Amino acid sequence: MLIFFITHILCEVFEKCDLPSYEGLVIHKFYRDNCPHCQRIAPLIEEIDDRLETHGIKSKVRSVECKSCDCSKDKIDAVPTIIVTRDGKELDRFRGYHDYEFIAEFVSRVAGINPKILERGDKETPGKVVKLKADDFYSIFSGPWLILFYNNKKDRYRELMVELGKFYLDKLNIAEAHESEAKNFEARYGITEYPTILALYNGVMVEYTGQPELFSLIDFCDTLIAPVFVDIKREKFDEIEQQTPQGEPIFLVFYSHLALANSYFMQLSHEMKFRVKLYKTGDKDLIQKAGIHPKDRDVDVDVKDNEAVILTVYRNGIFHRFDGDIGNNEDLLNWIYHAHYPLLTRISPKTFSGVFFGFKPVILLITRNEHLVHEFEAFIEMRHKGLPYTSHIFAAIEFTEFPGLFTDNLPGISVPAIIVYDPQKKKFYGEHTKVDNYNLKDVAYKTIKLYEDGKLKIYKKESHGFKYIVVLLVILAACAIGIKKTKRSYKTH
């Protein structure tokens, strides 16, 4: 670790518009400050450079901010773009966000470097269940992982993990960790009970909420490792439309510039793979069917990103387009969420104060990874079909996004759960009932009826802690909305 740190200090990383004369290997990173995928790829490029330095390979990283610098002379038409040169001659380039494995393979191939130099050295034992120790959780889990956290040596899931290892071999890393090894990491991974199964994959962290059945776990794992942001044509879209239940959304990105579309939506699509499927198309027949026409930058150089790449949702035979800023992830997520669940409010930093300081009682589904959100939406639609007004707000909140709120005010709550929050009285109401696919409707009906009849008990007496938590969250929400990220300056070491 000390050697790795020292070599990081010795490596040379600089930020300039014009590259000074330099003989040797240079990795050029072209980016924009407000580009989320540029921010994600930056530490991966630095890690590549660190590993090269560790093995005595001299290299430099040049970072070019395309708002301050003229990137057109380097023929940059999308960010992030990575170019590798040697002695001033371009070896190759790629556009858009990619994971560490892709970048490592790319650099080692075009620069003629032994690929083992850039290997992260994670524990990968094809076909076997890796037994994780506490120290393993301080390292990076590269690639797809399925991890069982358990406290009973005879747990049924341990047998199933062995079977999954045999089934997926080198396609998926299967691991287990005893409670004693994972105790200090429960908060990080949102573990509230044992056993818990988590899927981890380059920004994805999803809990398995199904039954201890092999085929159910296989479906879950298939989703984890499935390709995302698939390019489709008119025929494939028609097939997907026929297979999609009436009223369900299909999310489709129309593009005239493939690299630009990938830079905005590839990683987002990966991170949302357990929630929605996001497709892309540049097919002329499908563009004609939809009447959505992305503008071509080859024809007009002043075309904006939002005009060359257009996010839409298809529902009940109609395409609806996203008119916001595709570079604003919070707005994108809210739009996709409400396009999928129009009757539900998603609790986020932007919506938190409006809901918790509002006037209407909130019927709140506490969940992880949107588990049971679809069923909750169906319940709301059934209950309020045809009604022009409702006296409640129906909302869903991710347990892992606001852990302090639940720790202080709803200790011991089992997730998923349905509770009521009265913003006038600043009190939570509810029963200690864990919700599942089978009892959600009954629990929701009972909770609302008891509350309306004044018979639903306060979950916990009001504490000063809630007031402080709410104030803190509102402050954080304001910061998240109002504060712009400052430009990162790289030092020459």
From the number of C-beta atoms within 10 Å of its C-beta (0-12, 13-18, 19+), residue 232 rates as middle
Taking each helix axis from N to C end, the angle separating 36-54 and 100-111, rounded to the nearest 10 degrees, works out to 50
The letter for the amino acid at 2 is L
**129-225 and 345-479 share one CATH topology?**
yes
Per-residue pLDDT, 401: 81
- Closest of 413, 416, 449, 415 to residue 431, by C-alpha: 413
Q: Do residues 447 and 419 lie in contact, with contact meaning Cβ atoms separated by under 8 Å?
A: yes
Which tokens belong to 159? 């047998």
Question: To which residue do tokens 């698939």 refer?
Answer: 230
Q: Which amino acid is at 468?
A: Y
At residue 278, what are phi and psi to the nearest 5 degrees? -115, 120
Q: CB–CB of 327/455 below 8 Å?
A: no
> What was the pLDDT predicted at 391?
82
pLDDT of residue 475: 59
pLDDT of residue 338: 86
303's tokens: 């075309």
DSSP 115: G
At 402 the pLDDT is: 79
Q: How far apart are CA 27 and CA 90, in angstroms?
A: 10
User: What CATH number labels 2-118?
Assistant: 3.40.30.10
Q: Distance (Å, rounded) from C-alpha 176 to C-alpha 131?
A: 5
Instruction: Take residue 401 and report the two structure tokens written for it.
Output: 């996004």
pLDDT computed for residue 480 by the predictor: 53
Q: Dump the DSSP string for 152-165.
A: -TT-HHHHHHHHHH
- CA 335: distance to chain centroid? 15
Which residue is associated with the tokens 């494995």? 101
| Predicted pLDDT of residue 15 | 54
Rounded CA-CA distance 43/349 in Å is 26
Q: How far apart are CA 493 and CA 481, in angstroms?
A: 34
Is residue 324 helix, strand or coil?
Answer: coil
pLDDT of residue 493: 34
The position carrying tokens 């949102």 is 190
CA distance 246 to 243: 9
Question: CA 241 to CA 45: how far, in whole Å?
Answer: 40
The pLDDT of residue 337 is 87
Contact at 8 Å (CB) between 29 and 63? yes
Residue 10: per-residue pLDDT: 35
**pLDDT per residue as tens, the chain (493 positions):** 323 333 333 344 445 576 655 678 999 999 988 788 888 898 889 888 888 887 888 888 989 999 888 888 888 988 899 999 998 889 999 999 888 889 999 999 999 998 888 876 554 566 789 999 988 887 767 789 999 999 999 999 999 999 999 999 888 999 999 999 999 998 888 888 899 999 999 878 899 988 899 999 999 999 999 999 999 999 999 999 999 988 889 999 999 998 889 989 998 999 899 988 999 999 999 999 999 999 988 777 788 999 999 999 999 899 999 999 998 888 898 899 888 888 888 888 778 888 888 888 999 999 988 889 999 999 998 887 655 567 888 999 988 787 777 777 888 788 899 999 999 888 999 988 889 888 999 999 999 999 999 999 998 644 445 555 555 555 555 555 554 444 333 333 3
How many residues are given for the chain? Answer: 493
Token pair 């599942």 in the structure block, residue: 436
Which whole-number Å values give the CA distances from 469 to 364, 407, 460, 464, 479, in the listed order? Answer: 18, 10, 15, 9, 15
First to last CA, the chain: 18
* Residue 257 to residue 13: CA distance in whole angstroms: 30
CATH code reported for the domain at 234-340: 3.40.30.10
CA–CA distance, 403 with 190 (Å, rounded to integer):
8
Q: Residue 106: in which H helix or E strand, if any?
A: helix 100-111
Quickly tell me which residue has 């929630």 as its tokens.
275
Give domain 129-225's CATH architecture. Answer: 3-Layer(aba) Sandwich (3.40)
Would you state the CATH architecture of domain 345-479? 3-Layer(aba) Sandwich (3.40)
- List the domain boundaries for the chain: 2-118, 129-225, 234-340, 345-479
